[in-house]
A and B are shown apart, each in its own frame.
Chain A
Amino acid sequence: MKIVLAGNSVRTGLIKSFFENEGFEVLLAGTPKEAKASSDGYPVIIVGSSVIPGFLIDDGYAQRVIAGLEPKAPAVMLLDRETETPSFIWDLVLKRAVGIAAGKRHVYVLARSVRTEFPGLERSYSKARAHGVTFIKYEKVSVVQNDAVSAVMIDDGVMTLEIETPLLVDCTYTEDRSVLEYAEALRLHTYDGGLINADRWFLSPGRTSRRGVYYIDAGLAMSAQLEKILLSIADEIRLMAEMDVGPAAKIDPRKCAFCYTCFRLCPHGALYPDDSAVSMSVRHNYCSGCGICVSACPANAIELTERSEASGKRQTDHSKGTVAFCCENSAAIAARTVLPDNCVNVIPIPCGGSIRASQIAAALREYERVIVAVCNDGACKHFDGNKLASRQVERIREELASINIDPQRIMYIQLSHAMPNVMHNMVDNERNRAL
């Protein structure tokens, strides 16, 4: 089984060996263009390359530097000078500090704040303190460089301290911006100006918006968790190769107008123009069944093979009742928790973005009220599904208003399953209004 390993990191060699040991054939891609070219059909692992001070990772270099110093002179490791130092750098700093202190040299570690949430970091701190490393928190710092000696002046808001040292290690870490180029080449969704997984709960370590494309940032690459994460990625890749995952979108090539709308809107990069270029095709293993393409296709050429629309329909009096299109990741769960069985007809949908204006319009012919209930902004597993839903609702409301039908017959709410009372209240208010 082939995989593509992209990016130039100090860890690339290690990761390559890991996958080769697991039985994969590893193709290297040094640039985003190469990654894009070779990624068609193969899983891709992008390793972020960031600039980590050589003194922290290159043992040989560090030893040479230290050997050249005066025996009694202290070493100073300066963190947080311009930007906050991430936890994994702390891990490297502490290990290096212990190494220097073991050579009977005094080490100062200066930082604005102490990172503690990296797993296992406490042990490193204890060890460093046991070796006599001094930790000082500062608010302001200034450095004056004189030939071989640096004078570091720190101020913690109460007092100032000056330390002279021949070895000032500036532990500034430069983030990797080439990741943005990879994101563009591989059509990955990015957040917050360039972060690929950015703390999204549904992108567990190493995952991206596209199945089969993984991103290991510098912090992850340097951490002790790396092997565990690589193992889980290897397991997942093997699984994906064997299984047919989830409900997939199916395109009717006779109807497809090849307008590329679905290709552009798919949050998971699961659509591609097929070889014969007759219509768009779906990479089943990458398709998450969100249904956004189904809603977007102007030719109605796409359907989900496993429809969740039919399930959950309950028998109610259609002519007067309320129907709620509920995102199955949030609202549908909330509805099951707080709505009594027969008050609202709940139709679970795979994502708010799968709802079509025509569906809402059709529902209005059977029901007095239509509720569209989707995820909160930023919570959508398919990134912007809830916003697509809100635009569909807006459009239909405008159409309704233009023919003198009350646009508020369609109600739109955003919630998560962990705030179900929002739905309960809305339905309650509706019923009270109707009475």
Chain B
Amino acid sequence: MKSEHGDPMKNVLIIGGGLAGCTAARTLSGFDIPSVILESSPSLGGKVRQFGCKSGSSCSQCGVCAAGNLWDEVERDENITILLDSSLIDLRKEACGFSAYIKSGSDFIEKSFSDIVLANGFLDYASNAKTALDMDRSESILTGMDLERALYRRTASELFAEPPKKVAYVLCFGSRSVKEKANYCSRVCCGYSTRSAKVIRHYYPECEITFFYMDMQTTNALSAFMQDMNEPGIRFIRCRPARITVNGNDPEIIYEDSGVLARETFDKVILCGGIHPNSDNVTLSDLTGLRVDENGFLEYVKPPEKTHVYLAGCVSGPKSIRETVAEARDVGLRIAQISEQDGILA
């Protein structure tokens, strides 16, 4: 998309080179607005780049395809400058915009920007918890991210090295829990767990799958989807497991079912982990004047059109791929549509 809009005065700093950041950058580029992506890791893509395809006999609309070509396009885009291994050290408001002090590799860069987009994503709770619970040496305990990576590596005939006979999904792991400091729903786990379960059954039709859940969050489309889950060999147990241990080689779950305590071993246990706030959020809040909400996510204080600081993606709370893309695109559109006269810095 090209237009005559390209405001020569606009230059956007995007913090985070994941799905939200890259989508915003590409949207802006469509208006010939240059941007700089600050990515703290050595590569673009964030979490979504590692996600795999959850199509069983047909596409389950997980949204990963939204990223498709994005990383290549960003790398080839002349309007986008990518700084890897980089982070924001300081941010100062100026008469017309911001002055950002950036550490990139071992260099320091100072640059002016008209707008800032915070798209630094989320913390994957389950990965941290797995280490904390000393389960990271177990190949049988997977986090949602581990499962995504396996799905990415899938071949026409094989998903796991060994066909599993019993798989358990533990939902709300790190969500909806005051104890785990996440008194909210991570919103995407029910979706990706049921979708990936279909894929497991596609490869291994005899595999027994058990969901440990609180409430299945289904949307309109997923309801038809959920009917497919009503098959022999798929159990839904409404309980948060009391304990998950690794007993010898196989993980064991202790849970309550209809008033009775039960223990069961599985070949694989998948911890559907929560979307937790990024550890940088407090720092960014100090630098930009945005507020950290009661769950640790960033939120607006004043409208972004006035402050020129925008949020895109899971930095402001759990959201699906679809929602992230829509939000990042909208942020790009908004920045492009607002001309210099409209935006007044507070």
Direct A–B contact in the complex, CB atoms closer than 8 angstroms: yes
Contacts of A245 in B (CB 8 A): 1
Contact between A418 and B152 (Cβ–Cβ < 8 Å)?
yes
Contacting A at CB under 8 A, from B59-88, are 59-69, 72
Compute how far the CA of A415 lies from the CA of B151 in the bound complex, rounded to whole angstroms. Answer: 12
Contact pick for A201, options B4, B63, B154, B224, CB 8 Å: B63
| Given A416-B55, A418-B151, A418-B152, A202 and B66 contact (CB-CB distance below 8 Å) | yes
- In the complex, whether A405 has a CB less than 8 A from a CB of chain B is no
Majority-rule SS of A interface residues: loop
Tally of A interface residues using CB under 8 Å: 56
User: Known: A113-B216, A333-B68. Contact between A415 and B333, CB under 8 A?
Assistant: no
- B residues near A86, Cβ cutoff 8 Å: 219-220
Minimum C-beta distance from B152 to chain A (A): 6
The total of interchain contacts (Cβ-Cβ below 8 angstroms) comes to 154
B258 touches A157 (CB 8 A): yes
Q: Is B221 an interface residue (CB 8 A)?
A: yes
Q: A84-B218, A84-B223, A243-B3 are in contact. Are A204 and B61 (CB under 8 A)?
A: no
In the complex, residue of chain B having the shortest beta-carbon distance to the beta carbon of A240: B1
Q: Are A419 and B68 neighbours in the complex by a CB distance under 8 Å?
A: no
Most chain A Cβ neighbours within 10 Å, of B60, B61, B63, B152: B61
Residue of B153, B156, B223 ringed by the most chain A CB atoms within 10 A: B156
Which parts of A63-108 form the interface with B (CB within 8 Å)? 84, 86-87
Give which listed residue, B2, B67, B326, B334, contacts A204 with CB less than 8 A.
B326
A419→B151 contact, CB < 8 A: yes
Q: Are A236 and B321 in contact (CB under 8 A)?
A: no
| Residue A377, interface by CB 8 Å | yes
Q: Which residues of A contact B176 (CB under 8 A)?
A: 116
Closest residue of chain B to A121, judged by CB? B185
Chain A residue numbers with a CB within 8 Å of B215 are 113-116
**Contact assessment for B321 and A201 in the assembled complex, using a CB-CB cutoff below 8 Å:** yes
Cβ-based interface call for A239 (8 A) = yes
Contact status A425-B329, CB under 8 Å? no
Please report which residues of chain B, range 195-250, place their CB below 8 angstroms from some CB of chain A when the two chains form the complex.
214-224
Question: Which of A4-12, A192-200, A393-401 forms contacts with chain B?
Answer: A192-200
- Kindly state whether residue B173 has any CB partner on chain A within 8 Å: no
A86 to B57, CA, bound (A): 27
Q: Does B187 belong to the interface (CB within 8 Å)?
A: yes
- The reply to whether A199 and B53 contact each other, CB–CB distance below 8 Å, is no
A232 touches B329 (CB 8 A): yes
Confirm or deny: B259 has a beta carbon within 8 angstroms of a beta carbon on chain A.
yes
Q: Does B337 contact A (CB under 8 A)?
A: yes
**Interface size counted on chain B using CB atoms at 8 A:** 59
Taking A119-B317, A378-B58, A419-B53 as contacts, is the C-beta distance between A201 and B65 under 8 angstroms? yes
B97 at the interface (CB under 8 A from A): no
- A378-435, CB < 8 A from B: 378-379, 413, 415-422, 425-426
Do A417 and B65 touch across chains, with their CB atoms under 8 A apart?
A: yes
Please, which residues of chain A bring their CB within 8 A of the CB of B322?
A: 199, 201, 204-205
Cβ of B153: which chain A residues have Cβ within 8 Å of it? 421
Least CB distance from A159 to B in Å reads 11
Contact, CB under 8 Å: B333 / A377: no
Q: Which of B53, B59, B326, B330 is within 8 Å of A377, CB to CB?
A: B59
Let me know if B221 and A199 touch, CB within 8 A.
yes
B326 near A330: Cβ-Cβ < 8 Å = no
Q: Does A376 contact B (CB under 8 A)?
A: yes
Chain B's closest residue to A415 (CB) is B53
B55 touches which of A84, A198, A379, A426 (Cβ 8 Å): A379
How far is A198 from B65 in the complex, measured between Cα atoms in Å? 16
B325 within 8 A of A: yes
Tell me how far the C-beta of A42 lies from the nearest C-beta in chain B, rounded to whole angstroms: 21
Q: Is the CB of B224 within 8 A of A200?
A: no
- What residues of A have a CB within 8 angstroms of the CB of B223 in the complex? 84
Interchain nearest-CB distance for B162 vs A (Å): 18
In the bound complex, how far is the Cα of B184 from the Cα of A126, in angstroms? 10
* A231-286 at interface with B (beta carbon < 8 Å): 231-232, 235-236, 238-239, 242-243, 245-246
Q: A116-B176, A119-B317 are in contact. Are A379 and B152 (CB under 8 A)?
A: no
Q: Quick check: is A336 within 8 A (CB to CB) of the other chain?
A: yes
Contact of B185 among A117, A376, A421 (CB under 8 A): A117
Shortest beta-carbon distance, B188 to chain A, in Å?
Answer: 8
Write out the residue numbers on chain A whose beta carbons fall within 8 Å of the beta carbon of B43: none
- Footprint of A on B, CB under 8 Å? 1-4, 51-53, 55, 57-69, 72, 151-156, 176, 183-185, 187, 190, 214-224, 258-259, 317, 319, 321-323, 325-326, 329-330, 333-334, 337
Given A202-B66, A379-B59, A418-B151, 13 further pairs, Cβ under 8 A:
A116-B184, A117-B187, A119-B317, A198-B220, A200-B61, A329-B69, A336-B72, A376-B55, A379-B55, A413-B156, A417-B67, A418-B64, A419-B152
